């Protein structure tokens, strides 16, 4: 569980981190499609792909974050 100030309070956060380096795919979910992104990540991982899932419920708050945070 991601604390509010480190997740939703920043507009977006990494919900699932990739294993073994840079991800093959980054899925960004802004709302109700989050469950679909999680299921898709599970299927891709089963095929040997590295996947990152980002929950971004508020793009405006996310865009206001420091560049370093947005790039991470």
The pLDDT of residue 50: 95
Rounded mean pLDDT for each run of 10 residues along the chain, 72 residues in total: 87 88 94 96 95 95 95 88
* E strand or H helix that includes residue 29: strand 25-29
Task: Please name the residues in contact with 32: beta carbons below 8 A apart, sequence gap of 6 or more.
Answer: none
The pLDDT of residue 62: 95
The pLDDT of residue 19: 74
The pLDDT of residue 34: 95
Rounded alpha-carbon distances, angstroms, from residue 14 to 54, 67: 4, 15
């Amino acid at each position: 569980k991601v604390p509010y100030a480190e997740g939703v309070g920043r507009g977006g956060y990494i919900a699932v981190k990739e294993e073994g380096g840079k991800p093959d795919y980054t899925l960004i979910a802004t709302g109700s499609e989050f469950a679909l992104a999680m299921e898709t990540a599970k299927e891709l991982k089963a095929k040997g792909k590295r996947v990152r899932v980002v929950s971004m419920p508020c793009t405006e708050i996310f865009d206001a974050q420091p560049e370093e945070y947005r790039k991470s």
